[in-house]
């Protein structure tokens, strides 16, 4: 039985929500727990489907993992396994984050090429190149990425693109390597900063997290710690856009608004009133939004994960918008589903042109990834009639209790089985 959402249109969202820890951080922190024998405790964890998926990956590597609400406890043995099998890994992309820690701890790793959202190619060439410069030999073999090394040493590494995943795997390999690693053109996302802070709490020597250049001085051993996961800026941004799309009023807590500086700035350009606080913000949209152009870029640019939400807002805005996708070549595949709801859109390569202001109408639509699914739900909230959004397991991978939170804000969203 597959589950769907029945989304009733004509809703103005109003109220307050609090986001939990970031999906794009907790999974990488769980992987990094492999670096330190003993018990690692992570708090403020989101209760999303990918967390138990990652727990299964870690159990397959010899860890004991306990999931207790928003707390994850990981007991890592002195000797971890090195083979992350296909059945555990195939369900989500973040599983590849075990590659760096396993290469650091065992000098050997075999990780099945991961699955995840259908948003475009995400090759591992930069991950492999970074590990090779630190002394590992890597190859793709029988559907797995394999890394092997006699020893690991520091190196100067420059990424062709500030890849989040490559930055994470190089960091987690470098913390136990002998000598100094300098990583240039590193990713700067808040989740990278969270990982750097976590590693330093464990006894690593990492400097420059959040900048273009990260320096790592290798140490012999790390110790487990308790760590609170950074708030999820993508979920927070989704609620910000939900307020603007429905001409609503939503206060969002549990997030540093500095992590969404450009995102909130775009909402101001669209006509929203935005107030920020030390641990949150409020978005109020009292009139029809104004069209705004977007282009996705690595942090601190506009996040590709919020691009479907931006398209949803443009669909109900007055005027024409151009959205440019610079990160994933297949991220526009969901636009056809939005067009089923009456969105006036045309795709030209990595650009999509939205002519907003049309009345939208309900239709059955299918989620292709986490953020596209959330965008379709929000469009359904302002369409006539009842929109059925299929394949909501994608949404469950990124949004804990999505329909419950929407309903608490005044929506009418039902989860049904078909």
Q: Is 24 annotated as a binding residue?
A: yes
User: Rounded CA gap, 13 and 21, in Å?
Assistant: 23
Q: Is 268 annotated as a binding residue?
A: no
Torsion region of 176: left, alpha or beta (phi above 0 gives left; psi -120 to 50 gives alpha) = alpha
Q: Is 412 annotated as a binding residue?
A: no
Of the residues 50, 70, 117, 391, only one is catalytic, namely 117
Which is nearest to 132 in space by CA: 112, 113, 153? 153
Residue 389's DSSP bridge partners are 5, 365
Handedness of CA 260, 262, 263, 266 (dihedral sign): positive
Q: Is 117 a catalytic residue?
A: yes
Which is nearest to 51 in space by CA: 26, 76, 73? 26
Which is nearest to 19 in space by CA: 390, 340, 405, 364? 405
Give the CA distances from residue 404 to residues 12, 160, 393, in Å, rounded to whole numbers and listed in that order: 15, 42, 15
Q: Is 93 annotated as a binding residue?
A: yes
Q: Is 369 annotated as a binding residue?
A: no
260 burial via Cβ count (<10 Å: 0-12, 13-18, 19+): buried
**Token pair recorded at residue 327:** 């990160």
Pair 6, 404: CB distance under 8 Å: no
Pair 252, 236: CB distance under 8 Å: yes
Binding residues for phosphoenolpyruvate, as ranges, are 23-24
Catalytic (active-site) positions:
117
Q: Which residues are annotated as a binding site for UDP-N-acetyl-alpha-D-glucosamine?
A: 93, 305, 327
């Amino acid at each position: 039985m597959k589950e769907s959402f029945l989304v009733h249109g004509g809703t103005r969202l109003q109220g307050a929500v609090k986001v939990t820890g970031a999906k794009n951080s907790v999974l990488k922190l769980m992987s990094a727990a492999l670096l330190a024998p003993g018990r690692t405790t992570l708090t403020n964890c989101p209760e999303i489907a990918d967390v138990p998926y990652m727990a299964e990956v870690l159990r397959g590597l010899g860890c004991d993992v306990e999931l207790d609400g928003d707390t994850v406890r990981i007991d890592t043995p002195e000797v971890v396994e090195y083979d992350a099998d296909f059945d555990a890994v195939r369900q989500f992309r973040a599983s590849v984050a075990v590659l760096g820690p396993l290469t650091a701890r065992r000098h050997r790793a075999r990780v099945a090429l991961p699955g995840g959202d259908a948003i475009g190619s995400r090759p591992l060439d930069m991950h492999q190149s970074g590990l090779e410069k630190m002394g590992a030999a890597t190859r793709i073999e029988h559907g797995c990425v394999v890394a092997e090394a006699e020893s690991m040493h520091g190196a100067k590494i420059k990424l062709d693109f500030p890849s989040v995943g490559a930055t994470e795997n190089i960091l987690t390999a470098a913390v136990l390597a002998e000598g100094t690693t300098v990583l240039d053109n590193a990713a700067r996302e808040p989740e990278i900063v969270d990982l750097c802070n976590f590693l330093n709490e464990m006894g690593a020597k990492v400097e420059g997290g959040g900048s273009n250049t990260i320096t790592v001085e290798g140490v012999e051993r790390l110790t487990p710690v308790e760590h609170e996961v950074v708030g999820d800026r993508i979920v927070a941004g989704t609620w910000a856009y939900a307020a603007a799309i429905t001409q609503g009023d939503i206060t969002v807590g549990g997030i540093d608004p500095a992590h969404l500086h450009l995102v909130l700035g775009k909402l101001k350009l669209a006509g929203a009133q935005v107030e920020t606080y030390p641990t949150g913000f409020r978005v109020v949209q009292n009139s029809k939004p104004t069209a705004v152009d977007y282009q996705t870029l690595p942090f601190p640019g506009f996040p590709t994960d919020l691009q479907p939400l931006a398209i949803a807002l443009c669909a109900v805005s007055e005027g024409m918008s151009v959205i440019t996708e610079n990160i994933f070549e297949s991220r526009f595949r969901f636009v056809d589903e939005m067009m089923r709801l009456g969105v006036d859109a045309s795709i030209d390569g990595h650009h999509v042109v939205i002519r907003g202001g049309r009345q939208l109408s309900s239709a059955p639509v299918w989620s292709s990834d986490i953020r596209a699914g959330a965008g379709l739900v929000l469009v359904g909230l302002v369409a006539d009639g009842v929109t059925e959004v299929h394949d909501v397991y994608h949404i469950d991978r990124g949004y804990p209790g999505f329909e419950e939170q929407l309903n608490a804000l005044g929506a009418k969203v039902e989860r049904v089985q078909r």
